[in-house]
Amino acid sequence: MMLWTGLVAISVTGHSVPWSHSAKSQSLRAKYHSVRANRLVGLMLCANSCTANTHVSLNKMLVVSSTLSMISSNVVLWSHHGLESLSSPTAKSVSSHVTDVCSIRKPSWIPVSVKSLRHTRLSRRSMYSVSISTGKHKCPPRALFYLPEVCKISLMKILGIETSCDDTAVSLIEIDGENVHVLANTVHSQIDQHRPYGGVFPILAKREHAKNLVPVFAQTLNTAGLTKVGTTDIGESIDTLLSRESELLTALRTYISTITKPDIDLISVTQGPGLEPALWVGINFAKALSEIWNIPLIPVNHMEGHVLVALLRESKSEKFKVESEENKTHNSYLIPQPTYPALALLISGGHTEMVLMKNIGDYTVIGKTRDDAVGECFDKVARLMGLPYPGGPEISRLATIARDKNTPSPFPLPRPMIDSPDLDFSFSGLKTSVRYGLDKHGALTDDERAGLAREVEDSITDVIEKKLASAHETHMYQSLIAGGGVIANTHIRGALDRFTTERSLSLYLPQIDHSTDNALMISIAGYFKHKQHRVSEPDFRATGGLVIGK
């Protein structure tokens, strides 16, 4: 239990400085936490055996003023931008934190209660003024401090950039702890360009990203209301970064020269997994922006983004307007903490895996596909059935029709590896069974095609449910988090809802428009990685096979 007191300012020196106080029979010991902002340091005082006027040596920090005479009944809490957050601060929530860390040793002075809370948004930080009461006794003094580990209040604007496959996406969010305000979330799809190939053509995806990134970025800034007409001195530093992307370099130079630095605190970009040629375009673009505007850059795992965006819950009371030309109203979301251990089911065009989570950032893969991913299986089967690309939505559409009419499949399909003793998947055999069945059956009628689509969807869903049940028996997870493009499938979503309801588990599903690749999930993943101080190499590279966790 400690009482936070003292108003201090520091400068870079190597001096020891005197500490004085007016308490008559109490000796105080000073501890400090330094924060890299405005050169302020918070001091924690607690009863100890030190004598009055003890010299406190602060390495390279000089306390300008730190006497108890500066204290009054108002406590002003300053939190550095980007620190761990306490969402939607209220008198009650701040009171809880103040009580936890500022409880005064005398029992009669407990509990601390917060009478009022005043919030003032400063440039890149928040200031909270709190009037507190300590029962019968007057609250000693006044304090103004940075609370790097205690107050837990922050506001950050984070730019997310996603180019792992065939979607060029840029997002801007403002986040303070559990609250996420989506200022802009722009996605440019390349489906029309790749449809003739029946799948994503990597070099085409790379070229389209280079062409679309600047327009998508500009649209995102405009929607978020962060475009400021002016000029930015670019220099020649980005020429090397974008030397292989001449079209992107020209477009970026042209655009950046017309605006000033936007109010962005962190840039988050997908490092992998994905198509490396596509990933490199987004990474070099992010590095260029980071260098031009001196904004911190953090690489994130695409699959972790799918996990975290599934946690978002819309907060209807938190709508807000941004100062943009459109004056749009944007959604605000809460990020609730799931009950751990949790299981993340990731199903997409390139991935099928189950990841055990002990906390955000603590991941262990306990099951994965040995060959085709779920989304890949859907696309390949759709091609065999003569359905257009992308095949997953088409199979889902036909399967829904078949269920409504109770149309059977023209032939049965297996449930690959459904009874295997491990938690792995395999879907290449399902595709092969469809091929052999079609060769034997011949041309399909419309009803037969719908019935086969239903059978394919049922087969995949049955296997997923059985693997989830086996994982629950083994690991007893309390929450199920599902992410990836395939989780947009309504039949699979319904099956997961029934599965978790029967077992009294918490279920976290992303919004349909958050299921497919987007930069919102990259912004959120960047926030948590930054918050947890997970270190990345400054000269990070695109990693097509990047894995999540262990």
Three-state helix/strand/coil letters over 508-546: ECCCHHHHCCCCHHHHHHHHHHHHCCCCCCCCCCCCCCC
| β-strand pairing of 352-359 with 266-272 | unpaired
- The count of domains in the chain is 3
Task: Report the candidate in 12, 29, 27, 16 with the shortest Cα–Cα distance to residue 55.
Answer: 16
Give residue 287's pLDDT.
Answer: 94
For range 358-378, the mean pLDDT: 95
Specify if 321 maps to a domain.
no
Domain check: are 276 and 241 in the same one?
yes
Specify if 463 maps to a domain.
yes
Domain check: are 283 and 348 in the same one?
no
Q: What percentage of the chain reaches a pLDDT higher than 90? A: 58
Domain check: are 347 and 486 in the same one?
yes
Domain check: are 138 and 175 in the same one?
no
If one counts every other C-beta atom within 10 angstroms of the C-beta of residue 243, the result is: 10
pLDDT at 234 over 70: yes
Give residue 154's pLDDT.
Answer: 56
Give residue 452's pLDDT.
Answer: 97
pLDDT at 308 over 60: yes
With beta carbons less than 8 A apart as the criterion, state whether 391 and 381 touch.
yes
pLDDT at 142 over 80: no
pLDDT at 62 over 90: no
SS3 550: coil
Sheet holding 3-4, edge to edge: 3-4, 41-47, 28-34
Answer yes or no: is 392 a known binding residue.
Answer: yes
Instruction: Check residues 43 and 182 and name the one with the higher pLDDT.
Output: 182
Give residue 233's pLDDT.
Answer: 79
Domain check: are 292 and 359 in the same one?
no
Q: Mark which of 106, 123, 146 sits at the end of a domain.
A: 146
Quick: pLDDT tens for 414-445: 999 999 999 999 999 999 999 999 999 999 99
Six-digit token pair at 290?
A: 């980071």
- Identify the band that residue 548 occupies on the pLDDT scale cut at 50, 70 and 90: very high
Answer yes or no: is 302 a known binding residue.
Answer: yes
Specify if 533 maps to a domain.
no
- Which run of H or E residues covers position 97? helix 91-102
pLDDT at 153 over 70: no
Specify if 324 maps to a domain.
no
Give residue 535's pLDDT.
Answer: 73
Phi, then psi, of 140 in degrees rounded to 5: -65, 125
Six-digit token pair at 441?
A: 């059956």
Domain check: are 250 and 352 in the same one?
no
Q: Mark which of 310, 326, 359 sits at the end of a domain.
A: 310
Quick: pLDDT tens for 63-99: 222 222 222 233 333 333 322 333 444 555 545 544 4
Answer yes or no: is 282 a known binding residue.
Answer: no
CA-to-CA dists, residue 121 to 81, 124, 175, 346, angstroms: 11, 8, 14, 38
Give residue 420's pLDDT.
Answer: 95
Which range (104-113, 257-266, 484-493) has the least confidence? 104-113
Answer yes or no: is 350 a known binding residue.
Answer: yes
Which range (52-61, 393-402, 444-453) has the least confidence? 52-61
What is the C-alpha to C-alpha distance for residues 183 and 330, in angstroms, rounded to an integer? 6
pLDDT at 152 over 90: no
Instruction: Check residues 267 and 177 and name the one with the higher pLDDT.
Output: 267
- Identify the band that residue 508 occupies on the pLDDT scale cut at 50, 70 and 90: very high
Domain check: are 172 and 300 in the same one?
yes
Q: What is the mean pLDDT of the chain?
A: 75
Domain check: are 376 and 501 in the same one?
yes
With beta carbons less than 8 A apart as the criterion, state whether 173 and 182 touch.
yes
Give residue 164's pLDDT.
Answer: 95
Q: Mark which of 93, 122, 146 sits at the end of a domain.
A: 146
Give residue 330's pLDDT.
Answer: 57
Answer yes or no: is 489 a known binding residue.
Answer: yes
pLDDT at 471 over 70: yes
Quick: pLDDT tens for 313-337: 987 644 444 433 343 445 889 999 9
Quick: pLDDT tens for 327-363: 344 588 999 999 999 999 999 999 999 999 999 999 9
Give residue 199's pLDDT.
Answer: 83
8-state DSSP, 217: H
Residue 445: give the domain boundaries. Answer: 342-509
Domain check: are 350 and 476 in the same one?
yes
Domain check: are 364 and 500 in the same one?
yes
Instruction: Check whether the bond before 215 is cis (ω within 30° of 0).
Output: no
Specify if 535 maps to a domain.
no
8-state DSSP, 186: E
Instruction: Check residues 125 and 15 and name the one with the higher pLDDT.
Output: 125
Domain check: are 78 and 164 in the same one?
no
Residue that the structure tokens 């304090």 belong to: 143
Specify if 497 maps to a domain.
yes
Q: What percentage of the chain reaches a pLDDT higher than 70? A: 69
Answer yes or no: is 198 a known binding residue.
Answer: no
Answer yes or no: is 327 a known binding residue.
Answer: no
For range 295-309, the mean pLDDT: 96
Domain check: are 349 and 278 in the same one?
no
Specify if 256 maps to a domain.
yes
Specify if 524 maps to a domain.
no
Which range (139-153, 230-244, 383-397) has the least confidence? 139-153
Answer yes or no: is 274 a known binding residue.
Answer: no
pLDDT at 250 over 80: yes
pLDDT at 402 over 80: yes
CATH number at 348 reads 3.30.420.40
Quick: pLDDT tens for 11-57: 222 232 333 333 322 322 222 222 222 222 232 222 222 222 222 22
